[in-house]
Structure 1
Amino acid sequence: MNFTKKGRVHFHTFDSLRFLSFLLVFLRHSPVPEDSFLYYFSKQGGIGVSFFFVLSGFLITYILILEKINNNGTIPLKKFFMRRILRIWPLYYVMVLFAICTPFILDFFNISYSNEGYQPNWLLTLTFLENYMAMYTNQLPNVSPITVIWSLCIEEHFYIFWGLAFYFISLKNIPKLLLGSIVFSFIMQMVYEKLQIPTLDLFTNIHYFAFGAIPAYIFVFREDLIQKLETVSAVYKYSYAFLVLAFIVFIGNS
């Protein structure tokens, strides 16, 4: 299949969408007063994490499709992985270093803290395998901010798998990859639930990335649909955004 080379589009709205995801996660792990308006959003940190996965699925799929189109059906994996490393690793390891120092800092200032959870295995933490430790112990680490690092581990595993998958498959087989990922993830969720294993790995979360990849595929290959969406009145778009926020509040407080 031959395609005309395409330039990359910068999605400005991603900044606001990322902030919404971050805010939900941040509020979930913050002592929000019950009389605060933000309290109604504080119970849905899980939605924030899931939405992060959806956004990553969209953006990474969009980048990989363009790489494949603009490089005659191939993907420069080394370049792709280096960009992911430079984007994730510096902040990740700063956070891990802070977590290692946290108990010493709290003890130095004689600040009390909760010791619930397991003692982190720093080797697993440094190698993006903390989520499997959380699954094995059925707990979260007892050191902040390592408690939320399992989602970053899944992100890293997704980058590796998705990069390799797009390297080997053709553009015409991308829909099969997306559908297969969704079906496989739902099956794995049922298996994990049956075995009472926490769903904190890529196998049980890859459907979020795949759902995000669907609009990325449409954006590249179905420009006619995108043009139709651009004609939708802003009133309907803002109404839809409001309904999404209302839905988040409803399911978190019902």
Structure 2
Amino acid sequence: MSQKPLQNYIPALTGVRALAAYLVFISHYFYVFDDVFPHIVQRFLGEMHIGVSIFFVLSGFLITFRYYNNFHLTKDWFRQYLKNRVARIYPMYALLTTCAFAYYFITKDPAITRGNDNPILLWVMNITFVRGFFYQFWDTGIAQGWSLTVEECFYFSAPIIFLIAKKYNKFYLQPIVLTAFAVVMVLIFSRVNWHGFFGNVPFVMLFTFFGRCFEFFVGVQLARIVLNKGFERTNKITYTYIGFILMMLCVLVMAFQPVPAGWAAGVESTTGIIVNNYFLCIAVALFFYGILTENTLFKKVLALPFVELLGKSSYIFYLIHLGWMYTLMHGYFDSLNDYAFELYDKWGVDWRSPFEFDKLNLLYAFIILNAISILLFTKIEEPLNHYIRRSNFLIKNKSRNPENESVKIN
């Protein structure tokens, strides 16, 4: 097989990361537009959590593309593999999670601990990712960080997935086994109620790797197809737009689902889980296949240098867009609003405050959070990533040219 078509850098896939992060942002703050849009539009925006599915499919694709044809389950190979993964994910997560708990000790904001009375234990559970297996703890600390537990489970599983697929030709059986394991665990632990460990079906299916594994396997299969066939195509099917339209149709279906008691969106209904976990990811894979093999306007926009930079910093944006940093920012906007009206009273004028409207404040927050993300990416995340890769952490460094962790196909 010729490797020439595979030696390409696809900036648009880096831009996709920004798109995914912004969709999640919309899903968390759609309520700001309650007085603008009809109810069904609000529900539609509330289901934009599909950005998480985009991340999962993309992770499955990228890890497979980078490692599937050259993995060796030796001690040195696995240590290097883990070193790369730690360098990419862990430093900023640990830093921002620690900041979240420092914020809790200063403010006692219950949003960080969700009413749990042992913040030190929660901090340990958060920085070790194990909180993601417990219904009682999954949204503590940086709430959206639950998805990193799912990602880490895939990272640890990927070499075994590759081995079973290549040596035993048992690729499609694996997600079935993992999902069956999740069902058995729920049947056992829903009766035990150990802090919600595998506590209920919606939680396990939506917030653990065992429930979400099919999305990663779809990404894995997409990479296997591209590794086998390359980026060249003979048909003229516009997979980019077909995939995107199908993604939006999945969102619409979830928007029409009744929201179960105690949950926040239609995705938590039975139909929502099925659509989100098993149909949406296929649409995402079609979208990615189009990005990889077509030259569309969508791809050109996602590949713009500024969008690419937003994509590189989107991991940090994802971690800070909801939680303590946004809460501080929102409080600061309220203070500025009060200060503006105090000035207007002194001046004897009846003006509007630039911080009077929630919609404008959300826009300000979006811009500021992106600026902070870019700053943290360039000054902390990227240098730490490179430092760890060049270090002797886990395994002695053998090269001064660490793997480029942008979305690079090589």
Q: TM-score range by the shorter chain?
A: 0.7 to 0.9
1:216 is displaced (CA, Å) by 0.4
Amino acid in structure 2 at the alignment position of 1:187: A
Higher relative contact order (CA 8 A, sep 6+): 2
1:101 counterpart residue number: 102
Aligned match of 2:220 in 213, 225, 249? 213
Amino acid in structure 2 at the alignment position of 1:201: T
1:23 counterpart residue number: 22
Q: Is the 8 A contact 2:60 2:217 kept in 1?
A: yes
Instruction: Give the Cα–Cα distance (whole angstroms) in 2 for the partners of residues 148 and 170 of structure 1.
Output: 31
2:50 counterpart residue number: 47
1:159 counterpart residue number: 155
1:14 is displaced (CA, Å) by 1.6
Q: Is the 8 A contact 2:60 2:220 kept in 1?
A: yes
1:100-119 to 2 correspondence within 5 Å? 100-106=101-107, 116-119=114-117
Amino acid in structure 2 at the alignment position of 1:53: F
Instruction: Give the Cα–Cα distance (whole angstroms) in 1 for the partners of residues 68 and 76 of structure 2.
Output: 9
1:197-212 to 2 correspondence within 5 Å? 197=200, 198-199=203-204, 200-212=207-219
The 3 A distance-change label for structure 1 pair 213 and 244 is same
**What runs of 5+ residues in structure 1 fail to find an aligned partner?**
none
The 3 A distance-change label for structure 1 pair 174 and 238 is farther
1:240 is displaced (CA, Å) by 4.1
44-53 vs 201-210, greater mean Cα deviation = 44-53
1:179 is displaced (CA, Å) by 0.9
Instruction: Give the Cα–Cα distance (whole angstroms) in 1 for the partners of residues 157 and 36 of structure 2.
Output: 41
Deviations 1:97-155 (A, max 9, x none): 12112224546xxx8968745455222212121112x33x3x54454x2x122210121
Of the two, which has the highest radius of gyration?
A: 2
TM-score by length of 1: 0.74
1:11 is displaced (CA, Å) by 2.9
2:270 counterpart residue number: none
1:88 is displaced (CA, Å) by 0.4
Number of residue-to-residue matches in the alignment: 234
Instruction: Give the Cα–Cα distance (whole angstroms) in 2 for the partners of residues 233 and 4 of structure 1.
Output: 24
TM-score by length of 2: 0.49
Deviations 1:55-95 (A, max 9, x none): 11111111112434xx8x99822222211111101111122
Q: Does 1:34 align with 2:34?
A: yes
2:89 counterpart residue number: 88
1:77 counterpart residue number: 78
33-42 vs 210-219, greater mean Cα deviation = 33-42
2:394 counterpart residue number: none
User: Root-mean-square deviation (CA), in Å?
Assistant: 3.5
Q: Is the 8 A contact 1:57 1:210 kept in 2?
A: yes
Instruction: Give the Cα–Cα distance (whole angstroms) in 2 for the partners of residues 250 and 59 of structure 1.
Output: 28
**What runs of 5+ residues in structure 2 fail to find an aligned partner?**
191-198, 258-410
The 3 A distance-change label for structure 1 pair 98 and 13 is same
Instruction: Give the Cα–Cα distance (whole angstroms) in 1 for the partners of residues 181 and 50 of structure 2.
Output: 20
